[in-house]
Structure 1
Amino acid sequence: MTADEPMLTCYNPGCQDKKYLASQNSDSSCRFHPNMPIFHDGIKRWPCCKKSSCDFSTLLSYPGCIQGPHNPDKPEPPAVDKSKEEETAKNGEESAKADTSKVMEQLFASQQAPKPQEIISVDRNPSEPMVKLPVKVMPSLTNALAKLSSEPIKLSSGDETLKINDPTQILTCENFGCSVKITRSEMDSKNWQLVEDCLHHPKPPVFHEGLQYWGCCQKKHTDFEKMRNQPGCSNGYHKWTKGISKAKCRFDHFDNPALLTLNIYAKNSDPGACEFEANSCRLRVRIVYGVDRQQFQKDFDLFSTVDVSKCSVNLNATKVEVKLSKSPMQSWKAVEQIPPPPTPPVPSES
């Protein structure tokens, strides 16, 4: 070994030393694998000794299965047939163009406006007599009403607890500044909702920088009790905490060609006070619901015609389901008829 003898690199697969001196290279200097490793489905293995691993570093740590001299010659990459490579690239470009064209066609087809549905023309007769629809009380509502009738209701007008529809139940006017109280029997004996004897404040109180005042009459106070006891500035109708009052209910629908289900979200409806009537093109509902006896009433001018004999109503604890059997069968764009767009005004001739 000379001082200036260079270190050589061994290119045998699996050689653990890699660096060696030519003067020390013998037939037993290198332990290596005679074949290159194979990679398939995440597994790396030596085909000569069948050793395998998922980790490449672990594969390289396996000692070779034969002995021989170190190999200083770097292996040449396998020759590639240029004609086959060009043909493969050309086929790949054509395939990519075909795939792109197919994708664009599908995208264009998906973005095209759907064909408008053909509306079947029907004869509408709104003056047909209204027919009461059969009503079915579901078990969920039966259980909810039984629970409400057995439990006392605590009113905001006092600490006493009274049952629903109790004639001694105390009702308080909800208008700002009005403190009138009556019993339910007194309200039933008089038409209190039509008597304009409620002296109240039409606007709520305002609290600003230590001052309290009603938003309608602007008389400011520093003491809350004085502000609350200030007489009202406007006359109007009483608004009782209990009793039937008009309300708005949210509703939506589920549509298929044969049946439209109208869901009206009214909790704990009263089966005895609710009314459902319909003819071939109109639906009228009146729902009394809740502990505070609110009333939802609406007439629906239906989108198309229905078979009244096959329509029905289900009363649930949280909603009312009105099932409308369509005649003829077709999809509806909405529950009610869609009004035509307004006609633009005709410009006047000067």
Structure 2
Amino acid sequence: MENAGKLRCQRMGCDAMFTEDENPEGFCRFHDSPIFHDGMKEWSCCKQRSHDFSLFLEIPGCKVGKHTTEKPVLTKPPTTPKPVPVPSEATGASAKEACSRCRQGFFCSEHGSQVRIMNPNPPSSVAAPPAEGNADHREALAAPAKKLVDINQPQICRNKGCGQTFKEKDNHDTACSYHPGPAIFHDRMRGWKCCDIHVKEFDEFMAIPPCAKGWHNADPAP
């Protein structure tokens, strides 16, 4: 067995397999703990956040250290403060404008606000090349850059639920155990749509065993 005798790192954002003999300092990239508040997911250590749970889990770890089997102590999410009514005649704003949930675009049963849909494909800040010009040059701009990797170079698999360190020479169509996703985060429940398993605690969610096999991927598509 490929993972015989190996341990799984319990740090948030890592989840790699390792042995005590092969556990150098700086080989583990991880986060401290997650914070969930008003539909937002945030890492307490680097303050990077996302509304989408799958994208949240793919944020690279901001800290480095050694792998460990000790489970991290999770940070408790902040308590949601009760909204304070603001008199409209004193501020000139309506009750809907004074409501914090309405201002952020979340659904509000009191004022009937609709959920704000974020654009999954924001416009690129890079200007498009002019229509005229050399055709070969335009084709070169449109073609994605190829990533050259040494087949003996250690890489970390970014497939959800894997996180193993691998070499491309050992990669094959059943090397990776992962979740094809997407992750489901709804009504205080966390789970994976691919295997239909849902739990309440975040550490239980991270421990759900992968349900699919495939190739390791150190640079998954966004």
When normalised by structure 1's length, the TM-score is 0.20
Task: Report 1 or 2 for greater relative contact order, CA contacts < 8 Å, sequence distance ≥ 6.
Answer: 2
Larger radius of gyration: 1
More strand by share: 1
More helix by share: 1
When normalised by structure 2's length, the TM-score is 0.30
